[in-house]
């Protein structure tokens, strides 16, 4: 199996075990020194133990659906539609692997904003899309 397909298997399991809250199986995909980063808040979590605790403690009755998975040797990018109660969000994630384990995860949570003026002659407003941003 080539490197890209090995990574695809691990990252697919990452999303599947997250969605199912199977945290023991989720943890087996992570390197002991995994780094989890959220650039928007400048937060970083270091190590499998803390990152697992972060996920176990994460509040809210959320569900997640993968909408994109792009895999390239030992890196991957994914996107997810999240629902937390009445709120719908999109999560964008970049992953890096070494020796078949996830070593770095970078998460982004883009929020809706009002479109700037001056480009109305070029754009149309979309009601629904792949990405669930409410």
Work out which of 3, 20, 40, 65 binds a second copy, going by CB under 8 A: 40
Exposure string for 90-119, b = 16+ CB within 10 A, e = fewer:
bbbbebbbeeeebbbbbbeeeeeeeeeeee
> Binding to a second copy by residue 114, rule CB under 8 A?
yes
- 106 contacts: CB under 8 Å, gap ≥ 6: 36, 37, 38, 39, 93, 94, 95
Work out which of 3, 21, 50, 87 binds a second copy, going by CB under 8 A: 50
Residue placing its CB nearer to a second copy in the complex, 82 or 94: 94
> Binding to a second copy by residue 59, rule CB under 8 A?
yes
Work out which of 57, 61, 86, 99 binds a second copy, going by CB under 8 A: 57
> Binding to a second copy by residue 122, rule CB under 8 A?
yes
Q: Shortest approach of a second copy to residue 17 CB, angstroms?
A: 19
> Binding to a second copy by residue 64, rule CB under 8 A?
no
Work out which of 16, 19, 84, 92 binds a second copy, going by CB under 8 A: 92
CA distances from 78 to 12, 49, 75, 125, 126 (A): 10, 23, 10, 25, 22
């Amino acid at each position: 199996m080539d490197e890209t397909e090995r990574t695809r298997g691990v990252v697919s399991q990452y999303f599947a075990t997250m969605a199912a809250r199977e945290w023991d199986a989720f943890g087996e995909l992570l390197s002991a020194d995994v780094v989890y980063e959220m650039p928007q808040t400048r937060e970083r979590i270091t190590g499998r133990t803390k990152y697992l605790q972060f996920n176990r403690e994460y509040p809210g009755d959320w569900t997640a659906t993968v909408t994109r998975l792009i895999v390239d040797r030992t890196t991957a990018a994914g996107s997810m539609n999240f629902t937390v109660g009445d709120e719908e969000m999109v999560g964008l994630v970049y992953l890096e692997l070494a020796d078949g384990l996830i070593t770095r995860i970078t998460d982004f949570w883009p929020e809706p904003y009002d479109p700037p003026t001056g480009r109305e002659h070029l754009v149309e407003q979309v009601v629904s899309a792949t990405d669930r941003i409410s």
